[in-house]
Amino acid sequence: MLMFDLHCHSLFSDGELVLSELVRRLEVKGYDAVCVTDHADESNIDFIMNGITKAYQDINRYSETKLIPGIELTHVYPNRLRSLTEKARALGAKIVVCHGETIVEPVVPGTNKAAIEAGVDILAHPGIISREDVLLAKKKGVLLEISGRKGHSLTNGHVAALATEIGARLVINSDGHAPGDFMEPSHARNVGIGAGLSIEAVEDIYEVNWRWLQKILKG
């Protein structure tokens, strides 16, 4: 069973684990890959990417679960998202996530649209995302997140329904910060089913995204 998580956090931001332990815990759960996407803005993006890029190749030499360097641009003002997305990629981020307009935090309105226009890879927990923004995400190939995290998950059904109707791509992530947040493969699939997706649609999410990830892992 394919399994990966493309949105989680380490001690480089507000997570509880160093990279080695985070990867090891997911290796035991049978994960194929994990992307660490610590919270960043202008103040700490250099620090985070320096740490992750220093460690990931050595970790991947020994771990069956492959670590992908990433970043989550968090509460960044919309007009700064394009330049920070470009900077993150220049610093080595293979996947750029944006902290979307979740209903449980005061994210600046317009963040969803600006992130999609900036060319991020994943829009995390996009809340009550508009039809127009989902259409734009489809056009740009941005993945919309179905979240396993409490609070953020409250709008999963809305996101899944609109994305399915329009044909935008989805991804299921834990947004894990602590050991107990990381989902067993069966639980992650149940998060997708709970959002209103069929088991066939959930498996298709993993299959399609895995083909995309293989290109990233080889790059």
Report pLDDT for 191: 98
Which tokens in the block code for residue 82?
Answer: 């394009």
Torsion of CA 80, 36, 121, 171, to 10 degrees: -130
- Looking at residue 99, which CATH number applies to its domain? 3.20.20.140
Residue entry with tokens 């979307």: 100
For residue 176, what is the DSSP state?
Answer: B
Residue entry with tokens 């299959």: 207
Which domain range does residue 151 map to? Answer: 4-218
The total domain count for the chain is 1
Whether this prediction's pTM lies above 0.85 is answered by yes
For residue 128, what is the DSSP state?
Answer: S
pLDDT of the chain, 219 residues: tens digit per residue: 899 999 999 999 999 999 999 999 999 999 999 999 999 999 999 999 999 999 999 999 999 999 999 999 999 999 999 999 999 999 999 999 999 999 999 999 999 999 999 999 999 999 999 999 999 999 999 999 999 999 999 999 999 999 999 999 999 999 999 999 999 999 999 999 999 999 999 999 999 999 999 999 987
What is the 3-class SS of 157-214, one letter each residue?
Answer: HHHHHHHHHHCCCEEEECCECCHHHCCCHHHHHHHHHHCCCCHHHHHHHHHHHHHHHH
Report pLDDT for 219: 76
Q: Alpha-carbon distance 54 to 47, whole Å?
A: 11
For residue 143, what is the DSSP state?
Answer: E
Report pLDDT for 218: 87
